[in-house]
Amino acid sequence: MKHYTYYPKGVCSKQIDYDIDDDGTIHDLKFVGGCNGNLKAIGRLLEGSDARKAADILRGNDCGSRGTSCADQLSRSIDEAFAG
């Protein structure tokens, strides 16, 4: 299992922490800052999910015409995790 910390840009949350296991599954997803209840819900919904599939679902989600969202920033983080 590998731990990831990502510092999102252009959104209310300041940090995203999560683990991806050897099977590519998300665990222990937590956002720091942002819409607390909604972001906790995303963490619960994605627990045990395939990380690549989650990124595909969340990619491009927009919040308030910012061109991104906390969910979109998570997808970017996951993309970087698998690219690097």
Q: Tens-digit pLDDT profile for the chain (84 aa)? A: 999 999 999 999 999 999 999 999 999 999 999 999 999 999 999 999 999 999 999 999 999 999 999 999 999 999 999 997
- Other beta carbons within 10 angstroms of residue 68's beta carbon come to 18
Q: Are 66 and 58 in contact (CB under 8 A)?
A: no
Q: What is the CATH number of domain 2-83?
A: 3.90.1010
**pTM higher than the cut 0.85:** yes
